[in-house]
Structure 1
């Protein structure tokens, strides 16, 4: 077996530097060319150890680069052949004697020229033209590094400069290489001797630890933390109500820590907070709808669809007298989507008796008992633990207690029928959305916020009938007999 070849320190440093600065297709090709030039000094395992890439990835880069070099050579030779054929025949014509099948056997200098030439460092457009970052830089009169920063909306450049360079790029037909994000993600995930970038998780509960006792809130956090770690970031919690803390001071602390992305956890209720927070420094994503202003990009549950799905399931089981009872604040924090979806379902489902919704400002058990006595629903839909507990207690003493289903299923409710909102997946979606904003340097309050919704799942429990109701087993029939 041939012993591994040694590598030169200077070459390895240059290789590592190029990998760190890779921003577009041209830089990606430069990485490949350095890898090819380095094969006389180091083996694939040594390159992998230096770059943080896998050995297989290094080998794939080698083989892919050879294929692209061959295609580039054939393209150039075909173009030269067309030029020669279009010229009048007079005397001897220049002819390339080398065979395309011998591309890999060309002299090292020739191979290097082919791989690193401007025709290989290109982006294809719909009209067949090729454009690189350096082409855009020459057109705009700036360096290719400035072009890269401008196309990523870097805050280090004036907005007018970014707009001008983007117009030049569009005029030339420049298109970025989507594979670069995959390469940079792989490099970030494989770095060992490096402190990971940090994302800020903002908490605005009056007590530092209270939110962890709420199952939904904690599942949001678990999803955010797991996805941040999977993407090469670490998550750090910042509490708004630290002694002497203000919105602006919190923002400055996060900025001075070098953190670019923040996630705002759900608030105790829908309210105005973070009004003096310096949003223009950060890419920001909100969990849910509880932050009244400003309107940020958000990841949330699809409340409207879940309520309609729950009502449809109850209707399919034979329930016709379906009631909705919840505290007004629970509906307000989701922009009244609960009530809107319930009303829409009541209008669309045939044979369903319309029961007025019970949505008081504050919960009292007397309100619920009076409402049940007056309208006698077969099943009650609610959010939160109060109605679930009250009906469970009544079921012990009263035989005509209606069935129950929740639009937000929590583990503390036991074997209850309802909708699992997939809170952990909402946290995952929030991190994915935030990273997409950070990659494009989309900072501040967006003119048009993006919303990513996660669907819930219906879970059958013991608080409603599993089989379809008939005149013989319907709760209303049982009450009539009694």
Structure 2
């Protein structure tokens, strides 16, 4: 590895002069600075990351917390899109990203301890059990944090416009003549669920539609088995819904399997809708009516906001950025 001393010998100057040139300090002539930089580049010099941390107290490294309860890892289309957006934007702005784990040195560390151990400049929390003490500790710390789809008093957040998008989805379903609309939503503790559920009730109220309490069910996001059980429940009701909205496109597959196992056709016998707009949802037959979330933009927005907080902490505000989604009408909601 090329050192400052190697460059100094080649240029015939001191190592202090080389250091000043490479750090663009003003007390060195432009001609000398440019010559040293040119020779350093020719020699293949790369600055030492550890030395940079000591000098600037910045690692140019962002931590990413991604705890996937569904155990789908990076194969989950929504989170993979968000992570790719974070990575692309962070790298464009000169930052690396590192996933946070709790055993980086062979012993158990909390999320916050790992962040300090790695000297992360900031953290994006993409997916986590937000109610866990370790996650709350990290969000309440002095490390800059931006969350995805979760609102915390001390962190900026980025999310899809769940209220508007769910309202648009309901408006479309109702425009197709449906009034018996069931909703199998995600976990109650999720801010995403709360927003979507409120938008569901608002849309029904706007259109003067009353629905029985039995039409609103809970199932875990991405869990096809949970959704299958709730679909069985809805189809066994004496007054069955004409349309079922699922928490996400992946979980909807569990509902589709139940509907078809009963010999029912989509959308001729019952209509369905999902949420996320995954590629798979548009490969199904019929194509799923759903909301496509702009995952790349969500990820890029999160990286942008975090790096802005890192670079300009004195002007940083706790804000919530909302990214618009798109209604995909698909073919799974029939007209009554």
TM-score (norm 1): 0.52
1:55-66 matches, within 5 Å, as none
What is the deviation of 1:340?
A: 0.6
User: Is the alpha carbon distance of 1:379 and 1:271 closer, same or farther for their aligned partners in structure 2, counting shifts above 3 Å?
Assistant: farther
Highest CA radius of gyration, 1 or 2?
1
Cα deviation per residue 1:155-192 (whole Å; 9 max; x = unaligned)? xxxxxxxxxxxxxxxxxxxxxxxxxxxxxxxxxxxx97
In structure 1, stretches of 5+ residues that fail to align are 1-7, 23-29, 53-190, 475-482
What is the deviation of 1:427?
A: 1.0
The one of the two structures with greater contact order (alpha-carbon pairs below 8 A, sep at least 6) is 2
What is the deviation of 1:48?
A: 8.1
**Among candidates 265, 268, 278, match of residue 126 of structure 2:** 265
User: Is the alpha carbon distance of 1:14 and 1:314 closer, same or farther for their aligned partners in structure 2, counting shifts above 3 Å?
Assistant: farther
Hey, what's the Cα distance between the residues in 1 that align with 2:108 and 2:88?
28
CA contact (8 A) 2:184 2:244 kept: no
What is the deviation of 1:376?
A: 3.5
Equivalent position of 2:156 in the other structure: 297
The answer to whether the aligner puts 1:353 opposite 2:209 as a matched pair is: yes
The answer to whether the aligner puts 1:437 opposite 2:293 as a matched pair is: no
What is the deviation of 1:268?
A: 5.1
Equivalent position of 1:130 in the other structure: none
What is the deviation of 1:231?
A: 1.1
1:96-107 matches, within 5 Å, as none
TM-score (norm 2): 0.71
Cα deviation per residue 1:361-402 (whole Å; 9 max; x = unaligned)? 674645434434444333222213344432354246125631
User: Is the alpha carbon distance of 1:271 and 1:20 closer, same or farther for their aligned partners in structure 2, counting shifts above 3 Å?
Assistant: same
Equivalent position of 1:325 in the other structure: 183
Hey, what's the Cα distance between the residues in 2 that align with 1:458 and 1:366?
27
1:199-348 matches, within 5 Å, as 199-205=62-68, 210-240=72-102, 244-247=107-110, 250-267=111-128, 271-277=132-138, 280-289=141-150, 295-316=154-175, 318-321=176-179, 323-329=181-187, 332-334=190-192, 336-348=194-206
Hey, what's the Cα distance between the residues in 1 that align with 2:216 and 2:139?
40
Equivalent position of 2:240 in the other structure: 376
The answer to whether the aligner puts 1:463 opposite 2:311 as a matched pair is: no
In structure 2, stretches of 5+ residues that fail to align are 1-10, 50-58, 221-225
Hey, what's the Cα distance between the residues in 1 that align with 2:314 and 2:163?
29
Is the helix fraction higher in 1 or 2? Answer: 1
Hey, what's the Cα distance between the residues in 2 that align with 1:51 and 1:319?
70
**Among candidates 272, 278, 296, match of residue 404 of structure 1:** 272
For the residue of structure 1 that corresponds to 2:273, the secondary structure is strand
Hey, what's the Cα distance between the residues in 2 that align with 1:283 and 1:341?
31
The answer to whether the aligner puts 1:390 opposite 2:272 as a matched pair is: no
For the residue of structure 2 that corresponds to 1:419, the secondary structure is strand
User: Is the alpha carbon distance of 1:217 and 1:199 closer, same or farther for their aligned partners in structure 2, counting shifts above 3 Å?
Assistant: same
What is the deviation of 1:456?
A: 0.9
